[in-house]
């Protein structure tokens, strides 16, 4: 039975009318990535899907890169919030970290839909590109998720369960290992449907690797 985890690219609800327009643009980008990957993600297509004028886009974003960064920022913040809620119910930091690591793998790989795989592969390419061209903005988008991981590492170190180390550095090492592996898998599976059991197997293997690296 495949475990249920939050999708890493689920968008939160808007808080007001101004945010609603921004969210319409982000949602349009999200859906276009689902349907046709990066090739279909143009400003014209986003505006047509959102039903907004060109001015509405440029009041919020300078270009497509800013829109893609907003997709990362919005969805990763939502995922971090979901993981905080899930880990709050865990018995300890080891169980909590397992939830986060395996959740990133299963959630980011989508829910066994070809569209989710197209979106995941597209965002994987953009993640790698933006890490070179817009590192500060990408790191800002990743901070909420990294903070969740670092918080659990710090708790584990404090309890004597994990070896003594800088929690923020450990969080980034864990995330980089997991995300790089997932990006590779997503790009390999682009255009096809992933096997849920294989996803879980990959998640379990990555968690075991991380677990052995951090425990005393």
Domain containing 85: what range?
17-214
Which pLDDT tens digit goes with each residue over 19-44?
688 999 999 998 998 888 888 899 99
26 is a domain residue: yes
7 is a domain residue: no
Which pLDDT tens digit goes with each residue over 162-202?
999 999 999 999 999 999 998 888 888 766 666 778 888 99
Distance of CA 62 to the CA centre of its chain: 23
Q: What pTM value is reported for the model?
A: 0.84
9 is a domain residue: no
Q: How far is CA 39 from CA 19, 29, 182, 205, in A?
A: 26, 11, 21, 33
The total domain count for the chain is 1
Which pLDDT tens digit goes with each residue over 37-69?
888 899 999 999 999 999 999 999 999 999 999
108 is a domain residue: yes
Which pLDDT tens digit goes with each residue over 79-92?
899 999 999 999 99
- Residue, of 116 and 205, whose pLDDT is higher: 205
Name which of 45-54, 102-111, 146-155, 203-212 the model is least confident about: 102-111
Domain at 188, CATH number: 1.10.357.10
4 is a domain residue: no
131 is a domain residue: yes
- Of 78, 64, 76, 79, whose CA–CA distance to 25 is shortest? 64
pLDDT of 114: 56
pLDDT of 119: 80
Contacts of 106 (CB under 8 A, 6+ apart): 2, 3, 5, 199, 200, 203
2 is a domain residue: no
1 is a domain residue: no
């Amino acid at each position: 039975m495949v475990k249920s985890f939050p999708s890493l690219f689920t968008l939160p609800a808007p808080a007001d009318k101004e945010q609603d327009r921004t969210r319409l643009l982000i949602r349009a980008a999200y859906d276009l990535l689902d349907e046709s990957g990066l090739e279909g993600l143009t400003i014209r297509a986003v505006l047509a899907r959102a039903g907004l004028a060109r001015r509405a886009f440029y009041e919020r974003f300078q270009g497509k890169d800013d829109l893609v960064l907003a997709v990362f920022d919005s969805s990763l913040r939502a995922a971090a919030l979901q993981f905080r809620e899930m880990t709050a119910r865990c018995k300890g930091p080891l169980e909590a970290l397992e939830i986060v690591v395996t959740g990133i793998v299963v959630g980011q790989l989508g829910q066994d839909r070809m569209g989710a795989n197209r979106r995941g592969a597209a965002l994987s390419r953009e993640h790698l590109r933006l890490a070179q061209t817009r590192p500060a903005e990408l790191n800002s988008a990743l901070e909420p998720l990294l903070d969740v991981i670092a918080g659990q590492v710090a708790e584990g170190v404090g309890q004597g369960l994990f070896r003594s180390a800088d929690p923020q550095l450990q969080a980034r090492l864990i995330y980089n290992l997991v995300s790089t592996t997932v990006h590779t898998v997503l790009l390999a599976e682009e255009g096809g449907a992933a096997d849920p059991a294989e996803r879980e197997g990959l998640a379990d293997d990555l968690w075991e690797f991380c677990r052995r690296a951090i425990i005393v």
